[in-house]
Amino acid sequence: MSLSSWSSQSSPAMFPSPSKRLVKSNSGLRIVSQHERGNAPWALEEPHWVKDHEHHCRRCGQIFCSKCCQSKIQFHRMGFVDPVRNCQTCSPLTRKEEIFFTNQLKVLFQGAPFHVRSSMAISLDSCLYNCRISNDERYLLFNNHGDEGEQIHPIDLCRISSIEILSEGNMMLTAKEMTSSEFTLEIQAPAEPSRKPSLAWLKSFEQGMGFVFNSRESSLDQSPASSAESPQNSDVPPSDE
């Protein structure tokens, strides 16, 4: 299967860019997608918390006194408009993530040139592609310079199962098709003078995908266990005692 034929299954044309809306939650004003599938893959869901007169951390949802939850931090990963409270445990991580959303996300939007090799194409590395993240933060896009080479259609970030840094400026990513079969894509930075921005882009992409994988793990942790959904011994009649 070629990249062009595979693309018809995953092109953004099938998934129109969702509009955003402003919602007022118990934790503050948030910008969210109109539809759940339109959320950025590295976004975090707002945790459940018990409404109380005390303060609560917007990241973990735990209740704290004012002293232990006094840091107010910009929290783009959860879509908050204004700085919100983070506890002493969560605030260092939130501050670290904000560096990505403030600076490195711009690098991913701008893109950088790369040679590309795919397990679904004979050769793609003879020309350069500008790799960047779509404006809705959901797709990896490839724009070939001068309309040369095979067209590579967008890859849904949610379908990337792993990334591996092979060497400096050389990354291998594995993604799943709609049919659940996997393919690999090797992205290699060109020689100078275009190499420096490509290396910076790869570093930002690696960090962003780390957030994607982290969000998946968080979603799994919050999902009810199968044992809770199907209690054991449910067919045993109650005791007379």
Which class would CATH give 3-13+111-201?
A: mainly beta
What confidence score (pLDDT) does residue 215 get?
76
Which residues of the chain register pLDDT less than 50? 1-17, 224-241
Residues of the chain with CATH 3.30.40.10: 19-107
Q: What is the pLDDT of residues 148-159, one digit of tens each?
A: 667 888 999 999
- Candidates 2.60.40.10, 3.30.413.10, 1.20.1260.10, 3.30.40.10; correct CATH number of 19-107? 3.30.40.10
User: What is the value of pTM for the model shown?
Assistant: 0.75
Residues of the chain with CATH 2.30.29.160: 3-13+111-201
What confidence score (pLDDT) does residue 61 get?
87
| Plot region of 228 (φ>0 → left; ψ -120 to 50 → alpha; else → beta) | alpha
Compute the distance between CA of residue 160 and CA of residue 154 in angstroms, rounded to an integer.
12
Q: Where are the beta strands (DSSP E) in the chain?
A: 20-25, 28-33, 55-56, 63-64, 71-73, 84-86, 112-118, 129-133, 139-144, 155-156, 160-167, 170-176, 182-188
Q: In a 3-state reduction of DSSP, which class is residue 206? A: helix
Reading across the β-sheet that carries 170-176, which strands appear in turn?
A: 155-156, 139-144, 129-133, 112-118, 182-188, 170-176, 160-167
What confidence score (pLDDT) does residue 13 get?
38
What confidence score (pLDDT) does residue 142 get?
92
What confidence score (pLDDT) does residue 241 get?
36
Contact 171, 163 (CB under 8 A): yes
